A and B are shown apart, each in its own frame.
Chain A
Amino acid sequence: MPERPLAPGLRPFDAVGGWTIAVVDSLGRFGSFFAEALAVLVTPPFKIRAFVDRIHFVGYNSLLIIFLTGAFTGMVLGLQIYLTLVRFGSEAFLGPAVALSLIRELGPVLAALMVTGRAGSALTAELGIMRITEQIDALTVMALNPMRYLVVPSILAGLVTFPLMTALFDVVGIFGGYLVGVKLLGLSEGTYFGEMQTFVDIDDIMVGFWKSLSFGVIVTWVCTYKGFNVGHGAEGVARATTQAVVLSSVLILVWDYFMGSILQ
């Protein structure tokens, strides 16, 4: 039966209704994708080889960019915080200020953003190309669950590598702050590290750890979902990759605020 045309006054409501249904539908798909991944995660067989390969892909291949961004973030922090603290005669607190900024906030967030840009985008593009070239369908018709081979190993690799990448970012960043504060601006080495030991405790480290762990899940979840549900052709892969990076980055910042307010 053909649909009756809508009265012009009702069209905005129709558009809002259609948009709302589309948003709720995509959120439902997004959630059920993760629920299916969790169900596969806890049932054997476990794909150890694929997991190790994903650790290499997400973690090892991101080492250089983490090292570079960590070093320069620490150096910038060291310089800017020193220049601020020196106005109050409090430059002795440079070490804890750099360490706390990195460990609680900048380390997890910037490391996650960097890994998203490098590995997350590649993950989406790889799965997207596998989808449009029917490689994912090939797995399905072989009676092999693509979630087990392609999604779960990536999520597990995110859980393992993001905290490690964050720890590396923190250590390199603190050393960058040391180079600027101690070697360049003349602060004593004992003051930089001594005050750090006084002010940084295990709770601060755990805040960064929980954040990085959750970012690992968010980024791999978003990027594998977008790759799995790619549109048609090269344009579809390009759009999915952009969406994956943008959505992951926004969710990292939103979730960071949420975690920061809970884990004070």
Chain B
Amino acid sequence: MINVEGLTKSFGPQKVLRELSLEIATGTITIVIGRSGGGKSVFLKHLIGLMRPDAGRIMVDGVDISRLRGRALDEIRRAYGVVFQGGALFDSMSCFDNVAFPLREKVRTPPDELTKRVEAALAQVGLEGVGPKYPAEISGGMRKRVAIARALVTEPEIVFFDEPTTGLDPVLVNTIHHLMLDLHRRFRFTAVVVSHEIPEIFEIADTVAMLHEGRIVEVGPPAAIQGSTNPVVQRFIKGEPDNNS
């Protein structure tokens, strides 16, 4: 269970998160939607401990990670997998070594088992035989899938996806969404997905939270969000510009 309470963050005079609160149930897929520049990525960076809030708490299984530093925070992060927006693959390493990296460095896996697990992870995302290639030699969609394989290879309990389908064509968006759903059914991790792929992302969500001007303005199952009477939610779903555009 992840419980965010009163999360507040400012950059200079600009308030990005304003007493944001959200509960994320274990084993579910929670999608955080909202306009670009609305604070979704900042929120995600707080959840993975890359930013510290000005106020508020982020409770992960009862531990406030916003107060943790160094090894204590690393202990929590061992249960994390993160898929960054651009993939964040190490460009000096082959795809195989990218996926093998957390196994070698975090888990100290023996070489034979490591090879099996990396090949299995690449096969799960439909990329058999891509191991020897470097990230620069494969397409954007393949890079995202390698990033997903790397995030899942250590079998984490919580996986964060930061706009995993940005910049991909509709077919690839659909492929990645179904891949996420398939992997979630197999491994039962808790997934937190930041996205603005509307309405495609509703197909895989258990819960959808709408972030607007630093606050969660609506949260619920996809059907409830789509039927929401909140004008902010409706404008976003329909792609209509709001008054601030």
On A, residues with C-beta under 8 Å from B are 130, 133-135, 137-138, 140-144
Flag whether B32 is at the interface (Cβ < 8 A): no
Q: Is the CB of B88 within 8 A of A138?
A: yes
Interface members, chain B 50-87 (any A CB < 8 Å): 50, 74-75, 77-78, 80, 82, 84-86
B108's closest neighbor in chain A, by CB?
Answer: A45
Which of B78, B85, B88 touches A143 (beta carbons < 8 Å)? Answer: B78
Q: Is the CB of A134 within 8 A of B86?
A: yes
Flag whether B113 is at the interface (Cβ < 8 A): no
B70's closest neighbor in chain A, by CB?
Answer: A145
What's the Cα separation between A142 and B86 when bound, in Å? 16
Interface string of B83-125 (1 = CB under 8 A from A): 0111011110000000001100110000000000000000000
Which of A130, A133, A141, A144 touches B82 (beta carbons < 8 Å)? Answer: A141
Q: Is the CB of A134 within 8 A of B106?
A: no
Q: Is the CB of A141 within 8 A of B86?
A: no
Q: Name the B residues within 8 Å of A137 (CB-CB).
A: 50, 84, 88
What's the Cα separation between A15 and B177 when bound, in Å? 52
A145's closest neighbor in chain B, by CB?
Answer: B74
A137's closest neighbor in chain B, by CB?
Answer: B50
Flag whether B140 is at the interface (Cβ < 8 A): no
Q: Is the CB of A142 within 8 A of B88?
A: no
Q: Is the CB of A143 within 8 A of B106?
A: yes
Q: Name the A residues within 8 Å of B82 (CB-CB).
A: 138, 141
With A134-B84, A134-B86, A135-B90 as given contacts, are A144 and B50 in contact (CB-CB < 8 Å)? no
What's the Cα separation between A176 and B85 when bound, in Å? 54
| Chain B interface residue count, Cβ-Cβ cutoff 8 angstroms | 20
With A134-B84, A135-B88 as given contacts, are A141 and B48 in contact (CB-CB < 8 Å)? yes
* Given A140-B50, A141-B77: 18 more A-B contacts, CB < 8 Å: A133-B86, A133-B88, A134-B88, A135-B88, A135-B89, A135-B90, A135-B91, A138-B82, A138-B84, A141-B49, A141-B50, A141-B80, A142-B77, A143-B77, A143-B78, A143-B80, A143-B106, A144-B105
State the Cβ distance, A69 to closest chain B Cβ, in Å.
28
State the Cβ distance, A126 to closest chain B Cβ, in Å.
8
Q: Name the A residues within 8 Å of B84 (CB-CB).
A: 134, 137-138
Residue in B77, B91, B105 with the greatest tally of chain A CB atoms within 10 Å: B105
Q: Name the A residues within 8 Å of B86 (CB-CB).
A: 133-134
Which of A130, A138, A140, A142 touches B106 (beta carbons < 8 Å)? Answer: A142
B84's closest neighbor in chain A, by CB?
Answer: A134
With A137-B50, A138-B82 as given contacts, are A144 and B88 in contact (CB-CB < 8 Å)? no
Q: Is the CB of A143 within 8 A of B74?
A: yes
Q: Name the A residues within 8 Å of B105 (CB-CB).
A: 142, 144
B101's closest neighbor in chain A, by CB?
Answer: A142
State the Cβ distance, B179 to closest chain A Cβ, in Å.
20
State the Cβ distance, B51 to closest chain A Cβ, in Å.
10
What's the Cα separation between A137 and B86 when bound, in Å? 12
What's the Cα separation between A141 and B51 when bound, in Å? 12
What's the Cα separation between A54 and B180 when bound, in Å? 37
A148's closest neighbor in chain B, by CB?
Answer: B105
What's the Cα separation between A134 and B162 when bound, in Å? 11
